[in-house]
Amino acid sequence: MKKAKPEGERAKSVSDKRPVEYSQRWTISHKELETWLDGIAAARTLLAPRDVSGVTLYRPVANSAEIAPVFTRPLLSVKGVFFPPTERMFTIHKTGLEVQLEETFPEWETVVFGVRPCDARGARLLDAIFLNTNPVDAFYARRRENTTLIGLACKELGPTCFCTSVGGSPDDASGVDIMLYETEGGYLAQAVTEKGRYLIPGGEWKETDLAHQPSAAGSQYHVPEKDEWPGRFKDDYCAYVCPTCRCFVVRDEVLAPGEFERLRCWDSCMGENYRRVAGGHKPRFKRGERQRNRFFCKFYYFPEQYGLGAASACTGCGRCIEVCPVGVDVTEVLVDMEEQV
């Protein structure tokens, strides 16, 4: 186990910039895209935005027909692919006084289609914690390694989107393996990484010299009307929909007599018991204190702790604004904070 230094600075070796490794491009038709995705779905797990009881989520699809035809971004970000809501860290077998621990690691190859640039950026921000700061998280690392992201640039921005205000853009290709830009009659496809290039069918697609023209669309963010709030969540759910919130709890669950599993589960810093310590004392008991901590984490603590420099840990996806039942709007909070500083 790696040792910390006595009362010193932690080693930080994080870069938020990943060079675009490839720049090969192809033009493909809608039909070609469908055929390609059908092929991927037949060979391995394909996750794509899918309608689940009126909500769009990344879910396994059997073929391209199951993919939601129109979506701004799924309600939950792509973070759950690398950092699932519940992850088994090992199992515990107890027989009498004997205890055996058995490690299990996820072994599956996944392709995710329809990843929006904000979510791809979110994954890279999580990399700063789980991959680029020691010790490397074994579970996150495996899932990340075994996953290929097919990005889809945003043609339109959703009502709560503000990625351009936090350093992102609707056509930012830097966090995905393959980027698709919608064009008249099809897509412009770009291989961004070697992993992405590997997934592109050799001679079947037509290569092009055409480059994607950066979208002129700035942030079209507007404060949604009250009746636009879905309001379907408790007051701590901003953390669950956020692409970069990563707080977790570790707990044991019983599988059978003498058989247990140690789990890591998503948690939210907005919960009242989040900081409760043995003996019952609850630091940050007031909701305002927790709210303050969350915003400070996103815009100051997280970047500071994991060496992001001036970048914030917010991707501007706007999900927290969309799901907040009491109308807390991060963009308004930031404006308020700036006025007070």
Which of residues 264, 290, 298, 319 is near other proteins by CB under 8 A? 264
d(CA 135, CA 229): 40
Binding piece for other proteins, criterion CB under 8 A, among 25-33, 109-117, 125-133, 146-154 = 125-133
Is 237 one of the binding residues for other proteins (CB under 8 A)?
Answer: no
d(CA 193, CA 176): 8
Is 127 one of the binding residues for other proteins (CB under 8 A)?
Answer: no
Which of residues 42, 62, 211, 249 is near other proteins by CB under 8 A? 249
Q: How many residues bind other proteins (CB under 8 A)?
A: 56
Task: Give CA torsion, residues 302, 139, 316, 323, to 10 deg.
Answer: -110
Three-state DSSP string of 96-111: CCEEEEECCCCCCCEE
d(CA 133, CA 130): 6
Residue for token pair 């393959």: 178
d(CA 228, CA 290): 26
C-beta closer to other proteins: residue 252 or 336: 252
Token digits for 84? 């699932």
Kind plus residue range of the DSSP H or E element containing 289 = helix 287-296
C-beta closer to other proteins: residue 19 or 280: 280
Which of residues 70, 216, 256, 277 is near other proteins by CB under 8 A? 277
Q: Residues 63-102 vs other proteins: string with x where CB under 8 A?
A: --------------------------xx-x-x--xxx-x-
Which of residues 20, 52, 138, 223 is near other proteins by CB under 8 A? 138
294 CB-near residues (< 8 Å, 6+ apart): 238, 239, 269, 270
Which residues contribute to the site for other proteins (CB under 8 A)? 1, 3-8, 10, 89-90, 92, 94, 97-99, 101, 103, 105, 129-130, 133, 135, 137-139, 246-252, 254, 260, 262, 264, 267, 269, 274-281, 283-284, 289, 293, 296-297, 300-301, 304-305
